[in-house]
Amino acid sequence: MVYRSGQLVQTALAVRTISFVPRRTLTSTAIRYALNDGETKKPTGLFSSLKNIFLGGSSQKPKVAHRPSAPKKEEGGLGTSIFGSDFTSPTTGPMPSRPTGEQPKEGISGKLEDRDLSRLQVGLGPDPKAQLRWERKMAVREVRKRGRVPTKVQIKRTERESLSKSHWIKTSLKKLGPLARQIAGKNIDEAILQMRFSNKKAAKDVLEHLEHAKNVAIVRAGMGLGASNSEPSKPITVTLKTGERQKIANPTDIYIQEAWVNRGPYGYEMDHRARGQINRMRPPTTSISVLLKEEKTRIREWEDREAKAQRERRSQLWTQLPDRKISAQNQYYSW
């Protein structure tokens, strides 16, 4: 049996079940309209059009004739004072009216010369007494030793140095420590040569750091550029702290004054073993720091040691006391 909509109905005499999907027609299925995002369904048809004609309604929204615009931004200029815009009147908008009998206030101007310095002093020097105490302290420090500069300050002014620290190297202190002791006290070029032909694995990283430290010392500290005068200096033979004698040809050559290692953070790695076992490893990281100085520092230290040793020898030298007249004689023995 078939209905008007086209649906097939199973009868009692049917041998097997037959499924049938109904067909969509104009009489059986309502028409659906697709709406855009944010759009509402508007009434359409003959009734809505007649309603708009007789009642004066309209489905369209009224258009905005004028929209307010944002105020125009004021751009600053390169005037004589940064506070000039605070004292000048605004360029846009109605000008405020001023009474005829009122006169402009004095001292309000955009020029730097017309400003009150007493007001600026509040921000520049909030505590003038502390400023005076600091100036007095600095003056006393200069005249305390009759204007003589301390030894440490004099060394900082006349000698140059450069401290450079490397990145974290994936090695331990026991492996990097011997390399640091090997290059300590050597010329920078000789230390680079030692690391170049070393069989140690960490020597490659130390070599790269020494080359970087040398470049930094030359560019930033101005070390190793040679003497200012054109006359060649005579070679000087100095005695080191270890008793070794060394010949210095150029006082501006760079050498490694100190070299030490620094312990860094531990890493995290997995060690895969047999039968699915995994061990957690903590590989260490270490860095090396070098303090570079010029050979004139080594010469000055040798001269200081020689002067100190000479003073000690002179203090131990025995000299006979001068003859003096006998005074305060007594008939009794003095012992």
Mean pLDDT of the chain: 79
Helix spans in 197-238 (H): 203-220
| 260 DSSP β-pair partners | 289
**pLDDT tens per residue, range 65-103:** 566 676 666 665 555 555 555 555 555 555 556 555 555
What values do phi and psi take at 269, rounded to 5? Answer: -140, 160
- Local structure of 197: helix, strand or coil: coil
What values do phi and psi take at 258, rounded to 5? Answer: -140, 150
**pLDDT tens per residue, range 126-177:** 898 999 999 999 888 877 777 788 889 899 989 999 999 999 999 999 999 9
* Cα(65)–Cα(312) distance, integer angstroms: 103
Question: Confidence band (pLDDT; 50, 70, 90) for 308?
Answer: very high
Residue bearing the bigger pLDDT, 218 or 29: 218
pLDDT at 199 over 90: yes
pLDDT at 36 over 50: no
pLDDT at position 325 is 83
Lowest mean pLDDT among 46-50, 105-109, 327-331: 105-109
Rg of the chain (C-alpha set): 48
pLDDT at position 122 is 81
> Strand (E) positions, 2-92?
none
* Cα(216)–Cα(241) distance, integer angstroms: 28
pTM of the model: 0.55
Q: What mean pLDDT do residues 119-127 have? A: 83
**What DSSP element (H or E) covers 183?**
helix 173-183
What is the DSSP code (8-state) at residue 161?
Answer: E
What is the DSSP code (8-state) at residue 326?
Answer: -
Q: What mean pLDDT do residues 204-213 have? A: 97
Residue 191: both structure tokens together:
């230390």
Residue type at 63? K
* Cα(305)–Cα(313) distance, integer angstroms: 12
CA distances from 46 to 52, 57, 134, 173, 244 (A): 10, 14, 95, 94, 116
pLDDT at 244 over 80: yes
CA distances from 223 to 28, 48, 185, 233, 234 (A): 97, 94, 17, 17, 19
* Cα(119)–Cα(42) distance, integer angstroms: 69
Q: What percentage of the chain carries pLDDT values higher than 70?
A: 65
CA distances from 285 to 187, 206, 266 (A): 27, 14, 6
Residue bearing the bigger pLDDT, 213 or 111: 213
* Cα(172)–Cα(262) distance, integer angstroms: 10
* End-to-end Cα, the chain, rounded Å: 160
pLDDT at 24 over 60: no
Taking every pair of Cα atoms in the chain, the longest distance, rounded to a whole number of angstroms, is: 171
Q: What mean pLDDT do residues 184-206 have? A: 96
Q: In whole angstroms, what separates CA 30 from the centre of its chain?
A: 71
